[in-house]
A and B are shown apart, each in its own frame.
Chain A
Amino acid sequence: MNTVEKTEAAADGPASARRLRLGLLARAPRQMLADALAGVAGGAPAVRVLKPAETGLVMVRGRAGGTGERFNLGEMTVSRCTLSDEAGRIGVGMVAGRDRAKAELVARLDILLQDPAHGPGLERDLVAPLAARIEAARAERAAKAAATRVDFFTMVRGDV
């Protein structure tokens, strides 16, 4: 398990695992989600639409000084969708940006990932590679940042 998963999955229970998965799915390219859904054995199951996919705004908040009183920093575009399946499982997609199709794909996959018949396969074929991909992209940026770290300790008097 890589660090993206470790940091958050360390918390308890299926809710935190689902929370983590949704965070990963929100960062996936849409095509990767579409391919995963298309690859589900027996085809994508029927779903009922509870909240059709729509785009809107979320007000992003900060805290004064990082830890103090809350304030409104500004809005961001967000797309969301809520679905359910015949067994009554609820699937939620909430993703940054204006891609409604992606929000719907996340909601569908959220349902399938709760389904014992499809969950383990999708964990293996979609969630794990996605986590690795996100971790790799973060590590690449962190490595570039590290190369710009100013190290005041290496200078020794007399060195040029």
Chain B
Amino acid sequence: MYVAVKGGEAAIDAAHDWLAEERRGDPAIPEVTPDQIAEQLGLAVDRVMAEASLYDRDLAALALKQAQGDVIEAVFLLRAYRTTLPRFGASMPVDTAAMRIDRRISATFKDLPGGQVLGPTYDYTHRLLDFALAADGEAPEAPTAEPLDPAMPRVLDLLADEGLMERETPPADESGPVPDLTREPLTYPAGRPLRLQGLARGDEGFVLSLGYSTQRGYGRNHPFAGEIRQGAVSVEVDVPELGFAVDIGDLVVTECQSVNQFKGDAERPAQFTRGYGLVFGRGERKAMAMALVDRALRAEELGEAIQGPAQDEEFVLSHADNVEASGFVQHLKLPHYVDFQAELQLVRALRAARRDENREAAE
């Protein structure tokens, strides 16, 4: 138990001044600006936005600068900032079928309509350090070709048209609220909307490892990467003054739909099922892992045996948030002097009692 302490103000101020100096580093080296971070460390910025659950590139870049590149600290800073702003409302659900595609691949169909589009990917690079980046050099210009057909049907919908894939259909009545874990404490069973929200903002490392665990046998569900797409979607918000939804700008998101086996049951024939991943920014690894875990968490719904942690909704959702996890782990370093004194007395008393017993036995 933590008991509040007082004092130490001068030491704390000095520590923070030193932190600021350390953050700046050698003054002979030019200072990095948030603009440079936003432009040149874009995937770090994307990850901070996704896990902070707040899309704002400039703020995420500033947070990364302030945190010296510590992603979880930067996520914490953005989470704290968001509490200072009012919530205007919610958007219409983003239409990922209308995404302006930068990248779109499928591991299940090679000849999909619209084609496989690699986009600016690290796939197929040799992972050799590029020392040219340490020297001054111009980046090559990206080649261009005749623009793609903007109509890019979702791969899984093609399978669904044949009845081989479950359809994702909205409930008939959507007048009710969409559950929001930032407004109501989580209770279980949470249901898929809250699971998807929790996974979308969950720590990438945690979600990745859980997804990996399902592949290694802890809740196996035979996934294929049915489709991964990355690009910009428009966000539309209903404006009461106007009586219609207004397009307020673009978000870059990554979506992954996994294709998984389902053997069928009494009511349903054998067909493919899906796991779904959707994350802010270019977070492909995270979107894929999210799809695996989303599918694993559907075990109960699909009548599958629950054998691994990735299939346990309460385990997954209550440990996925890195701000919560880091808060509880790191609170251990705050002064626990009173608490520890009590433990110390207890251990001393137990040892003394044992000594007395031993002495009596010897006599």
Contacts and interface: CB of A to CB of B under 8 A. Distances in A.
Interface of A: 3, 15, 18-19, 22-23, 26-27, 50, 54-78, 80, 82, 90, 92, 94-98, 138-153
A57 B247 contact: no
B111 interface: yes
25 contacts: A26-B247, A56-B85, A56-B86, A57-B87, A61-B91, A62-B93, A62-B200, A65-B156, A65-B168, A67-B157, A67-B168, A67-B169, A68-B276, A70-B93, A70-B170, A71-B193, A72-B181, A73-B200, A73-B278, A76-B54, A96-B235, A142-B100, A145-B147, A147-B143, A152-B110
Contact of B170 (A58, A63, A149): A63
Interface in B238-256: 239, 241-251, 253, 255
Nearest to A139: B147
B115 A151 contact: yes
Interface string B176-212: 0011111000000000111011001100000000000
Contact of A60 (B58, B147, B174, B235): B235
Contacts of A19: 242, 244-247
A152 B53 CA distance: 38
Contacts of B257: 65-66
Given A71-B193, A73-B196, 4 more contacts: A59-B91, A60-B90, A65-B168, A76-B235
B213 interface: no
A153 B116 CA distance: 12
B150 interface: yes
A73 B94 contact: yes
Contacts of B88: 56-58, 78, 80
Given A61-B93, A73-B278, A92-B239, A145 B82 contact: no
B94 A71 contact: no
A144 B143 CA distance: 6
A38 to B, nearest CB: 23
Contacts of B132: none
B117 interface: yes
B162 to A, nearest CB: 16
B352 interface: no
B55 interface: yes
Contacts of B231: 145
A58 B250 CA distance: 13
Given A61-B90, A143-B146, A146-B146, A72 B178 contact: yes
Interface residues of B, number: 88
A141 B102 contact: yes
B249 A97 contact: yes
B169 A68 contact: yes
A74 B246 contact: no
A19 B231 CA distance: 23
B97 interface: yes
B115 A150 contact: yes
B145 A27 contact: no
A146 B145 contact: yes
A4 to B, nearest CB: 11
B112 to A, nearest CB: 10
B117 A148 contact: yes
Interface in B102-129: 102-103, 110-111, 115-121
A69 B58 CA distance: 31
B334 interface: no
